[in-house]
Structure 1
């Protein structure tokens, strides 16, 4: 195994030299047992002293969609507070969305809404005061409601940040609770997560991997959320915003295995199984061709990718999992192909080294 792990280290070293990223965590395991922990690189390309360790925080971007939003949605459906078949117009009294768009369409990216729009552009380039977050979220919803659908609701899957942004208003409305409190009450506290939270992150207290030299904010982003639409909402949303570590994400993965075994008090097995039925709600599936999960995850697998270079994949067939956190948008988001080439390669090398193929 040592010889095989050498290949893993070599692949990381090559990626660091090519500046695919400056920082990375790769944690691999099976069931509730961790088999590999690699914490590699530096917080930024220009920082020669601050090394990545297991406590380094990464901007996990769209992993927020599963770590937070999907986790909470599964609980609310289980409790009867959230109805998947409910038309989303039920939650937006003064707006007029297509009456055929239902909650499950937002979760499965089948609402017909476009993938993304720069909703943030009309706002100042600094964090808003917290009392402005709600009004800005409502403003986002108004802008989204005016967009033309690209296809009929339910017709096909088109990954959409905009659909998940609407879920922020829906979750707050059905619970009467803020997103920040929902995260704490329903995920962070019950799972005893200590290094997962919404930004901004205090750089004097925490080690945080840098992201992009942001062309909009005109500075290197470190400790602030990379996603501009989330930034303009004060750093808290249902589509992005969380900072975390591979260690905290692993706690969550282990809990999901307990859920599937029927041994969790956090969520019922039937609730997770419902969200894993095709079309999956919240979760990504393994692609039939050139999957980002690599060669060894079965078609039963589920996970998610993040724009910043993070990903999580889980395979219920043998309970293996791979957590990869990187800052691939450092210093620029302009070269997504590099991480797309690296991710499946490093997954395969690690799983081969650990005989999890």
Structure 2
């Protein structure tokens, strides 16, 4: 499969090489416009395939302050909710692959605190797809995890388990604690040993030590550098299932390449092919209106980075801090956007930036329409 995808991709690059330099200027112009409109102070854009990086460029600065240093391709970012798919989801799926948990385990198996609270129908699968019926709740500083578990147990479920999609960080806070209970190690230690170390993701982890390499985020008029932006994650000590991870574009590219490689990168296998397939298979809710993978987004109100040219089986995720990744196995293309986001109120404008970047990535580096059809056909066989 990878051989045929590589052949098709080589043909596409050969066809497009003559106008490459002029076309990539469109990416420069897109990011420059976002900076001119104060959506971002700077950004790193990386586009790649399963076996290489095709485009990587840094723009602007790491923050709005005049003295903020220039953005570089190795800048470390708070990737916010990308934590859900680069840490928590693969950790849970690896545990399932190893037979240490089951996605069909009732939540009460791992959380006896839920027994007798009407949560018997919730499965691990429902947490991964945001179909648990749970909503986010405030946490109590000093006992944040305890209050998360007790609050989840006590709240009344909203809608029928499995059919109501409601994106909630609480689902992934619980999944991180499940990982700890199943392994005896925190999500940070388990993710590092299982994924980041074998994949060579040397700048990925929680609570970064080298804060001077980090881009800044803004939280309630505070500028944070190397400290997680998400308040719930800060209450949980910086290590949480929904947010808290820091990474670079290069490291995230290695993770994306692993996903396109069916769980393997440069000879190092961290997930089975069937696990990656299971993680990215469609799960439908809201009567089919919302399509999610396990952890991953496919087609939902949060799918702006899909753009207009990536295939229907493409998948990805966004992060509130200004991050996103989107991966298309049909065209063997992925795009990473990491930014120093400034104006969080212009949600539509930022969504448009993500979508337009992915559309450009597909146009410049993906397969032409006729080759996309060939690739889709081969993947279906």
TM-score, scaled to structure 1: 0.88
Q: How far has the Cα of 1:200 moved from its partner?
A: 4.8
CA RMSD of aligned residues (A): 2.1
Over 3 Å counting, the alpha-carbon distance change for 1:160 and 1:53 in structure 2 is: same
SS of the residue 2:310 aligns to: coil
How far is the alpha carbon of 1:180 from its aligned partner? 2.2
Q: Post-superposition shift, 1:211?
A: 0.7
Match of 2:298 among 273, 285, 298: 285
Q: How does 1:1-357 map to 2 (within 5 A)?
A: 1-95=20-114, 96=117, 98-114=119-135, 116-119=136-139, 122-123=140-141, 135-203=143-211, 206-212=212-218, 214-215=219-220, 219-259=222-262, 265-279=269-283, 280-287=293-300, 291-328=304-341, 330=342, 332-354=343-365, 356-357=367-368
Shift of 1:48: 3.8
Question: Is the alpha carbon distance of 1:47 and 1:187 closer, same or farther for their aligned partners in structure 2, counting shifts above 3 Å?
Answer: farther
Q: Separation in 2 of the partners of 1:308 and 1:355?
A: 27
CA contact (8 A) 1:198 1:236 kept: yes
Q: Deviations over 1:281-304 (max 9, x none)?
A: 111104599843101110111111
Q: How far 1:355 sits from its partner (Å)?
A: 5.3
Q: Quote how far apart the aligned CAs of 1:190 are.
A: 1.4
CA contact (8 A) 1:301 1:315 kept: yes
Unaligned runs of 5+ in 2: 1-19, 284-292, 369-381
Please give the secondary structure, in 1, of the residue aligned with 2:305: coil
Alpha carbons of 1:147 and 1:327: their partners in 2 closer, same or farther (altered >3 Å)? farther
Native 8 Å contact 1:195 1:245 kept in 2:
yes
Conserved in 1, the CA contact under 8 Å of 2:113 and 2:149? no
Deviations 1:269-320, CA, capped at 9 Å, x for gaps: 0111112222121111045998431011101111111111211111111211
C-alpha contact (below 8 Å) 1:23/1:209 kept by paired residues: no
1:39-71: CA deviation from partner (whole Å, max 9, x where unpaired): 111011113451111110111001000101111
How many residue pairs match? The answer is 337
Shift in Å, 1:152 = 1.3
Would you say the 8 A contact 1:64–1:242 is kept in 2? yes
SS in 1 for 2:194: helix
Where 1:118 maps in the other structure, the secondary structure is coil
Task: Give the structure with the larger helix fraction.
Answer: 2
Moved more, 218-227 or 13-22: 218-227
Residue pair 2:49, 2:257 contacting (<8 A) in 1 also: no
Q: Return the alpha-carbon distance in structure 2 between the equivalents of residues 239 and 49 of structure 1.
A: 28
Secondary structure of 1:248's aligned partner: helix
Q: Which residue does the alignment assign to 2:286? A: none
Shift of 1:253: 1.3
Contact kept in structure 2, 1:258 and 1:264, CA below 8 Å: no
Ranges in structure 1 where 5+ consecutive residues have no aligned partner:
124-131
SS at match of 1:211: strand
CA-to-partner distance for each residue in 1:177-211, whole Å, 9 max, x for gaps?
Answer: 122211221122111211111125443xx321111
**Structure 2 partner of 1:126:** none
Q: Displacement of 1:5 after TM fit? A: 1.6
Take 2:268 and 2:210, find their aligned partners in 1: how far apart are those partners? 33
